Amino acid sequence: MLSKTKIIFFDSLCSTNEEFLDQYTNDILDFFPYKKKPYKLLYTIYQVDQILYMFKRRYLFDKQCIDIIFNNCQSLTLNFKSIEDFIKVCKQLAELNSKAKAFLSPIKKTKLVEKWKEGKISNSFYIMLLNYYGSRSYNDLSQYPVIPWFINSETFDIPEYEEQKLNIRDFKLNLNKLGGGKRLEQSIQRYHEGDAMTEEKYFSGSHFSNPGIIIQYLVRIPPFLDGLIKFQSGKLDCADRMFSSLISSYNLALTEVGDMRELIPESIILPEMYKNNLKVNFGETQDHTLVDHVILPEWAKGDPYFFTWKFKEYFESRQVGDNIHQWFDLIFGCKQKGEEAIKACNLYPPISYEDGIDLTNPNNIIHKNALIVQAYNYGQWPTQLFHESHISRKIVEDPLIFISQRADLEARPIDLNKQKYGEIKEIKFVNENLFYMLNKKNKIIR
């Protein structure tokens, strides 16, 4: 039920729910049926005035879906049975929450691209916006948010963390071209020969993001361990295929025929994904190495908290910010499909693209359920957001440090003018909103 102040889910109009709903009689806007969850539900309430963002998106082949993100970082995905219900709810929610309404428009009609270009929003916030606008969601493993591998293999090998020794990957190349060698030769040959069964032309049969990849990355935290066991028909995957080393995963993404995985946002904000806090016995690899905590670069000293702090810090660096727009072209932009994708060896099977499959085709209608399963497990491309090259970031004279307790959503820019503050050594938080800065002499900067 949608009212003027709340979104309410309930199982049925039992006497308890009727009494509960009486208080909303004058506020009710509409009722919509939904697929009942397997557990018993009396009612669940979401406050409309707590909506922070709303994004139109698709779920597999359906384009009548909306993602709602609340102030407390909870999210809700609504997939409607009819396009009419979808349009009606979008309109009603937009009228009830004017702030969130802005995010229902295409990103090109907002000022967000310009804000990123000018350094007013962080790399992590902007890339999350691209994911949301591109129909990706934390509630959909086939379209989970994605970020790039952004440092190269040499950076994994340095013994001590020094930012000047870190080097970024070549963002204008996808992982297929970045790895080069025999795998790239095979993919070019596959494209020219076409698929033996369907005659479709594509370079890679493995996607950069799919449910299997997401579950592997997050297997050390609930509920993804249960997801892996379900995914593997009631048992854990063999130890050699587990996510056990960040360096090995990167090297496999550059060389393995069946592995083109990019990173996920948690890799720069969630240290727990690297720790086996549940003490799960993942077994031993063929070389008798016990799979436990994820092996991190030497400079992390085995500390996932230090690693994610520095990993995100480097993701926000000018070096990454000045070049990452080339990766936006590959995933969200002009090199996603068409001639530019062919030149970039970036063309994937049609089933992974929005509108890649024509469901009005009688043959596809017959096999719709099989196509849905295939599309879900293979992974999906984002909606194409840009048809021309993405603009590069403008060089910012005064450095900006982005402070945020919600690293996946929003950051507050703090202008650190060296002439005004001197050299900043450290920023310490007193609470969520209050912090102070120390200079190189450990004196508080006011």
Same domain, 177 and 316: yes
Query: Among 139-148, 150-159, 211-220, 270-279, where is mean pLDDT lowest?
Result: 150-159
Place of tokens 């095979």: 186
Same domain, 161 and 284: yes
Longest Cα–Cα distance of the chain, Å, equals 74
Same domain, 199 and 57: no
Same domain, 44 and 192: no
Domain with 440, as residue range(s), is 416-445
Do residues 181 and 255 make contact, with C-beta atoms less than 8 angstroms apart?
yes
The more confident residue out of 14 and 57 is 57
**Which helix (H) or strand (E) element contains residue 444?**
strand 444-445
Give the angle 76-80-82 at the CA atoms, nearest 5°. Answer: 165
Which tens digit of pLDDT belongs to each residue from 81-109? 889 989 998 888 888 888 787 788 889 88
Quickly state the pLDDT bin for 24 (edges 50, 70, 90): low
The answer to whether residue 118 sits within a structural domain is no
The answer to whether residue 436 sits within a structural domain is yes
The answer to whether residue 121 sits within a structural domain is no
Residue-level pLDDT at 421: 52
**Which helix (H) or strand (E) element contains residue 406?**
strand 400-406
Same domain, 99 and 209: no
Task: Write the DSSP assignment of 92-108 as a string of letters.
Answer: HHHHH-HHHHGGGS-GG
Same domain, 64 and 199: no
Same domain, 328 and 187: yes
The answer to whether residue 300 sits within a structural domain is yes
Place of tokens 């990993």: 311
What's the one-letter identity of residue 143? Q
Do residues 219 and 225 make contact, with C-beta atoms less than 8 angstroms apart?
yes
Give the angle 383-385-390 at the CA atoms, nearest 5°. Answer: 140
Q: Are strands 62-70 and 51-59 parallel, antiparallel or unpaired?
A: antiparallel
Query: Residue 340 contacts by C-beta under 8 Å, 6 or more apart in sequence?
Result: 329, 334, 346
The answer to whether residue 37 sits within a structural domain is yes
Same domain, 179 and 239: yes
Strand partners of residue 414: 401
Give the angle 172-328-162 at the CA atoms, nearest 5°. Answer: 65
The answer to whether residue 113 sits within a structural domain is no
Place of tokens 């384009």: 63
Which CATH number fits the domain that encloses residue 358? 1.10.1540.10
The alpha carbon of residue 292 and the mean position of all alpha carbons in its chain are separated, in whole angstroms, by: 25
Which CATH number fits the domain that encloses residue 78? 2.30.29
Identify which of 210, 231, 230, 228 has the alpha carbon closest to the alpha carbon of residue 219: 228
Query: Among 2-6, 95-99, 411-415, where is mean pLDDT lowest?
Result: 411-415
Sign of the C-alpha dihedral computed for residues 378, 382, 386 and 390 taken in this order: negative
Quickly state the pLDDT bin for 429 (edges 50, 70, 90): low
Mean local confidence (pLDDT), 190-207: 87
What's the one-letter identity of residue 137? S
Average pLDDT value over all residues in the chain:
83
Give the angle 397-400-402 at the CA atoms, nearest 5°. Answer: 165
**Which helix (H) or strand (E) element contains residue 21?**
helix 15-22
Q: How many domains does the chain have?
A: 3
Residue finishing a domain among 378, 403, 432: 378
* This prediction's pTM: 0.84
Place of tokens 């890679």: 204
The alpha carbon of residue 181 and the mean position of all alpha carbons in its chain are separated, in whole angstroms, by: 29
Query: Among 32-46, 93-107, 198-212, 346-360, where is mean pLDDT lowest?
Result: 32-46
Same domain, 362 and 439: no
Same domain, 225 and 162: yes
The answer to whether residue 36 sits within a structural domain is yes
Sign of the C-alpha dihedral computed for residues 208, 213, 217 and 221 taken in this order: positive
Residue finishing a domain among 323, 348, 378: 378
The answer to whether residue 212 sits within a structural domain is yes
Same domain, 75 and 20: yes
Residue finishing a domain among 351, 378, 405: 378
Radius of gyration of the chain (CA): 24
Task: Write the DSSP assignment of 40-76 as a string of letters.
Answer: --SEEEEEGGGEEEEEEEEETTEEEEEEEEETTS-EE
Which tens digit of pLDDT belongs to each residue from 296-318? 998 898 999 999 999 998 999 88
Helix (H/G/I), strand (E/B), else coil: 410: strand
Beta strands in 114-251 (DSSP E): none
Same domain, 280 and 426: no
Do residues 327 and 321 make contact, with C-beta atoms less than 8 angstroms apart?
no
- Asked whether the predicted pLDDT for residue 13 surpasses 70, the reply is no
